[in-house]
Structure 1
Amino acid sequence: METAKFLALMPVLPSQDVAAAIDFYVNKLAFQLQFQDSLSNPFYAGVSRDGVQLHLQWHDPSEWSTVERPQLRFEVPEIELLFEEYQGLSVFHANTKLRTTPWGTREFAFFDLDQNGLTFFARTEVTGNA
């Protein structure tokens, strides 16, 4: 039986200030702006880097929960290079470190401006999950 092929996943991250989120992803994390719904006061936008695309969507503060924040994992084979790239850009938490995990990855993590969790990892051994 023929099955449908998945081509991509584009998570939508909640944001309290989409313009500030665009600035963070573009000017700090070296993503490229793909689109935004308004030049002066965007409520929805898309950014990408190396074929990985994220969407950023405004959420009203009354809908905001700091407990239920998304956590994203980005696989990046050159993890040391990315760590060095981001290290001097004031994006890391005081405890952000490049570490080797028991589940077979080398990784580091921090939060974006809206407290969405971003983990960047490289596989250190062949594993089924990362």
Structure 2
Amino acid sequence: MTKGYIKTIHPVLPVRDVVASLRYYVEKLGFQIAFADDQHNPMYAGITRDGIEIHIQWHDASNWKQMNASSLRFVIQDIEALYDEYKTKDVFHKQTSLKETSWGTREFAFYDPDMNGLTFYVDV
């Protein structure tokens, strides 16, 4: 009997506007659109950067209060370079900084427009 092997994961982020989210992730964070279920009014789409893929899915405003935003942690090869790239893209919040943590990482974090948490880190 063979054993199943998990190759990768594609997390799905809840969003209020797929087109606006695609624009944010492409223009601000350097992702590319991998696919969309509809060219003009997508409800579900995928974005890629550096070999990872994230999916985004529309959720109706009436359901938004019951939704919990997601939180993603990205392992980064050159944390300083990515921090420098993003600090010019107007995505950081006042409290965003590149810092070493007590749990042994160097990281920075911010929220996307739908309050999904994005943390980028490297082990130190």
TM-score with structure 2 setting the length: 0.95
Query: Helix, strand or coil: the match of 1:96?
Result: coil
Give the C-alpha shift of residue 67 in structure 1. 7.4
**Structure 1 runs of 4+ with >6 Å offset:** none
Q: SS of the counterpart of 1:63?
A: helix
Answer yes or no: is the 8 Å Cα contact 1:92–1:110 preserved in 2. yes
Deviation, 1:66, is 7.8
Cα displacement string for residues 37-58 of structure 1 (whole angstroms, at most 9, x for unaligned residues): 1121111100010111000100
Q: Deviations over 1:18-70 (max 9, x none)?
A: 00000001111001100011121111100010111000100011111387211
CA RMSD of aligned residues (A): 1.3
User: What residue is the counterpart of 1:107 in the other structure?
Assistant: 107
Q: Which residue of 1 aligns with 2:5?
A: 5
The letter of the residue matching 1:4 is G
Q: Alpha carbons of 1:42 and 1:67: their partners in 2 closer, same or farther (altered >3 Å)?
A: closer
Q: How many residues align?
A: 124
Counterpart of 2:37, as a letter, is D
Letter aligned with residue 94 of structure 2 = A
Tell me which amino acid in the other structure corresponds to 1:43: M
Identity among equivalent pairs (%): 48
Query: Does the residue aligned with 1:113 lie in a helix, a strand or coil?
Result: coil
